Amino acid sequence: MPRMWKSRELIRLLSKKHSARIISQKGFHLKLRVTGSNGVTSTATIPVRKGRDVTGTSLHCIERDLAPSLGEGWLRREG
């Protein structure tokens, strides 16, 4: 079973380890932009709800959106 992530943990991981920048926030959705070591820039939207886990479907979409910058399966390697 894959690891469950809180939105705060995921944002912290992306900000500190992968130098993600916050682009905007609208309501419960935060947009982050990541530039990978290959020079490719990707953007992902992360749902931010205090104390709740990010659902499996949302994690899959975030992983897919950032794969061009961070490589396939980057989230599974972190977890």
pLDDT digits (tens, 9 = 90+) for 65-79: 999 999 998 988 887
The distance in angstroms from the start CA to the end CA of the chain is 11
Q: What is the dihedral of CA 9, 69, 21, 16, to 10 degrees?
A: 40
Query: Which has the closest alpha carbon to 34: 16, 52, 47?
Result: 16
* pLDDT, tens only, 28-76: 999 999 999 889 999 999 999 988 999 889 999 999 999 999 999 898 8
What CATH number is given for 7-78 in this structure?
Answer: 3.30.310
pLDDT recorded at residue 2: 65
Sorted by sequence, the CB contacts under 8 Å of residue 55 that are 6+ apart come out as: none
pTM for the full predicted model: 0.88
DSSP string, 42-79: EEEEEE--TT-BPPHHHHHHHHHHHHHHH-TTHHHHH-
